[in-house]
Amino acid sequence: MVNVLAKSKDAYKLVAQNKKAYHDYFVEEKFEAGIVLAGTEVKSMRQGKASIKESYVRIRNSEVYIQGMHITPYEKGNIFNKDPLRERKLLLNRYEINKLEGAIATKGYTLMPLKVYLKGSLMKVEIGLCKGKKIYDKREDIAKKDQRRAAEKDFKVKNLY
């Protein structure tokens, strides 16, 4: 799954995406953060060997960390490979961290990693300030998707004849 915009200022290569976050949460606001990685982790992520499906973001001592992010060890890294599930520090401005801390103090908000991508030569993580969906919200989204699919199918059928 490679997503590269052709030589534009905002060109990026998608490494991992958390589609389940959009299914289980309303994404209120998005933030772009840098991530602190070891050399072998960067090489492995450039090959697309990362997963953020079971990961989450925590703020501890006014610093932001991603936990549960799996980066497959680099096959040629031997002794330099790190633990695949270790917590990694995210790099945000102090203003953004304070804003996130205040929002998380509000009941019902959480931080979720949405995608990991390569922007230029830097590895970035897009995190979202999210609010959990109830079961009936999920049903509404599924119904909307079904309606959209049916409309697209009807449109195709009408244009074939």
pLDDT digits (tens, 9 = 90+) for 113-149: 988 888 888 888 899 888 887 776 678 778 888 888 8
Whether 2 is covered by a domain: the verdict is no
Q: In sequence order, what are the beta bridge partners of 32? A: 126
Whether 60 is covered by a domain: the verdict is yes
Number of folded domains that form the chain: 1
Whether 7 is covered by a domain: the verdict is no
Whether 40 is covered by a domain: the verdict is yes
Whether 50 is covered by a domain: the verdict is yes
Range of the domain at 120: 12-133
Whether 26 is covered by a domain: the verdict is yes
> What CATH number did the domain enclosing 116 receive?
2.40.280.10
pLDDT digits (tens, 9 = 90+) for 7-19: 555 677 888 888 8
Whether 147 is covered by a domain: the verdict is no
Indicate whether this model's pTM tops 0.85.
Answer: no
Whether 97 is covered by a domain: the verdict is yes
Cα separation, 39 vs 45, whole angstroms: 10
